[in-house]
Structure 1
Amino acid sequence: MSRYIPQRCQQIFSNCNMVCFIDEALLCLSYFAVAFVSLNCLNIYASFVGTQSRSFAYGLFIINSIYGIGGAVSSVTSSLNHVQVIFYAAEVSFVLPFLTTEMWIQKNLFPKQQELLYVPCILGILPFFSFIMLGVIRIDLIELCLVYCCVCTAYVGYITKDYLVVAGSLLFYLAYCMHYRGKVKISNVLLILFTLCSLGSICPNCVDETRKKSDFPFKEYGF
């Protein structure tokens, strides 16, 4: 009996280590998937829009990519955790405002009041610089910005019948809620879906054009 107890404890300890390893591997994979999808969306957008592209759309995909790469690295080593916090602050502060501003510019909703186009970005600057200056992520400022952007994108979707941008904004807000509750892997999956919705909304024809290319993956299988 005295020999059985240490063996049992060792087995439990080994199982816990295995579970922790699998959890960390899945977390790293989810971050890597965010970076991979964002970089591919950036490449598709830049290839088909070219000189007509705007910095807001570029910023959306670039910040998503940096957040994913930083998360993948920080999930392997803890030496970059403080840097990943900055990336996360930039993610929740700028990505959805960039999408909102980009859609407002594309749909030309305020032709006589161009200054209103940049209100979402200004609201995003507030929590980010508050974090830089104070070292604290102001949840109230972030939620004010996100809720405002969700309302604005809902208005854009209603006026222009573009429901992808509405779905994207809701996915981003849900991803923020999941991350806040500690469910980071689920949050990253939602961010992947958000990125795809953003690409389809910002550049609605680029995905269809990509599918027509002869080198599009799995085309021979009918996808």
Structure 2
Amino acid sequence: MVSFLDEILLCLSYLAVAFISLNCLNIYVSFVGTEARSFAYGLFIINGIYGIGGAISAVTSGLDHVQVIFYAAEISLVLPFLTTEMWIQKNLFPKQQELVYVPCLLGVLPFFSFIMLGVIRIDLVELCLVYCCVCTAYVGYSTRDYLVVAGSLLFYLAYCMHFRGKVKISNVLLIFFTLCSLGSICPNCVDETRKKSDFPFKELGF
């Protein structure tokens, strides 16, 4: 009974990640439209796919190998996408534009290492995550955008919790990371959407 209840809670935590991510994607696209960038798209889409895949794998063992691929993409690419998106938006290095893509290049290394070797290189993942946390901290300090700092720290904590086997806690942290990411990437759309019924957790007063 306990095991069954644990599986249900795990499935619900994954579904919550998917729901919030896809909802945030819809909000972002609705307000930004043709000005939307692929990095923000990628962040929300990968989060959503990770949540859907996790919910399915939580109730059946047939797709566990697929969920591992989604997890590798999640920890390798999502935070670099946020970091690159914020560097582009804030235009902190106008004379060295190529630097904004360094986080994504670092994220591609562990993901393709997994695709080629079948092993998640924790050292490469942590190098990428620490680099992105430092970059977002600089962005937050320079532009007084503390949501992006909170988001990067939440993502790193989520990674640590997942690594320790506390997947449900990790998923809850990913939910708050996604909301922080939306608030940082598109603050105007959050202010407007908060007044409407489709904003995540509006019924809780956010």
TM-score range, shorter chain: over 0.9
Unaligned segments of structure 1, at least 5 residues: 1-17
Q: Write out per-residue CA displacement over residues 50-77 of structure 1, whole angstroms, 9 at most, x where no aligned residue.
A: 0111000000000000000000000010
The answer as to 2:44 corresponding to 1:61 is yes
**Which of 71, 75, 78 is the matching residue for 1:88?**
71
Q: Write out per-residue CA displacement over residues 78-125 of structure 1, whole angstroms, 9 at most, x where no aligned residue.
A: 000000000000000000000000000000011111110100000000
Percent identity between matched residues is 87
The one-letter code of the counterpart of 1:176 is Y
Task: Give matches, 1:33-182, under 5 Å.
Answer: 33-182=16-165
Q: Quick one: distance in 1 between partners of 2:67 and 2:163?
A: 15
Give the root-mean-square deviation of aligned CA atoms: 1.7
- Give the TM-score of the pair, scaled to structure 2: 0.96
The one-letter code of the counterpart of 2:184 is S
Q: Quick one: distance in 2 between partners of 1:187 and 1:92?
A: 12
- Number of aligned positions between the proteins: 205
Query: SS in structure 2 opposite 1:79?
Result: coil
Moved over 6 A (4+): 217-223
Classify 1:204/1:86 alpha carbon distance in 2 versus 1 (closer, same or farther; 3 Å).
Answer: same
Q: Which moves more between the two structures, 202-211 or 83-92? A: 202-211
The one-letter code of the counterpart of 1:131 is F
Classify 1:149/1:222 alpha carbon distance in 2 versus 1 (closer, same or farther; 3 Å).
Answer: closer
How far is 1:219 from its partner?
7.8
Classify 1:113/1:39 alpha carbon distance in 2 versus 1 (closer, same or farther; 3 Å).
Answer: same
Q: Write out per-residue CA displacement over residues 147-174 of structure 1, whole angstroms, 9 at most, x where no aligned residue.
A: 0000000000000000000000000000
The one-letter code of the counterpart of 1:139 is I
Classify 1:222/1:159 alpha carbon distance in 2 versus 1 (closer, same or farther; 3 Å).
Answer: closer
**Which of 19, 23, 28 is the matching residue for 2:11?**
28
Classify 1:108/1:78 alpha carbon distance in 2 versus 1 (closer, same or farther; 3 Å).
Answer: same
The answer as to 2:176 corresponding to 1:193 is yes
Q: Quick one: distance in 1 between partners of 2:158 and 2:8?
A: 20
Unaligned segments of structure 2, at least 5 residues: none
How far is 1:207 from its partner?
1.4
CA radius of gyration, larger in? 1
